[in-house]
Amino acid sequence: MVPSRRYLYLALAVGTIVALDQTAKALVLARIPLYQAIPVIEGLFNLTHVLNPGGAFGFLAGQGPVVRHLLFGVATFLAVGLILYYFHRTPREYRALSAAFALILGGAIGNLIDRLRFGQVIDFLDFYLGPYHWPAFNIADSAITVGIGIFIGHLIFNRLPD
């Protein structure tokens, strides 16, 4: 693959993830009141509308907004820089690893947009089993998680099948 084509694919993948994430969040904002839930699969899955001022699993949620904005802003920009650097250095044959970087980058940008717009992230996917709830998350979080999973698989096995 020609290097410029690789970056076109990266931009398309990242743009698609960001568009899906932001569209879903806009629908949540428009149709689900804050802290309300709509059961989708009773006893297992709700669409909900919550705001997460922290990171994954509420990390740093108790810190003041200035600290959170500074830490998450710096961390996101560093992550974006590192992802682009490693994407550039990834051999073109490692398509799964390139896809992992696209997923992580798209998710990071999706959540960064929320932090810039609202000072926190909109979460809406709520999985649970009886009284046990997984922390609510969003499409950007899912993209980051899948991308990190592929990346870890690459590190463990030194190459993933494409």
Task: List the catalytic residues.
Answer: 123, 141
DSSP state of 33: -
Contact 136, 48 (CB under 8 A): yes
What radius of gyration do the chain's Cα atoms show? 17
Q: CA distances (Å), 42 to each of 45, 129, 130, 138, in order?
A: 6, 9, 10, 19
Contact 88, 6 (CB under 8 A): no
DSSP conformation letters of 80-134: HHHHHHHHHHS-TT-HHHHHHHHHHHHHHHHHHHHHHHHSSEEEEEEEEETTEEP
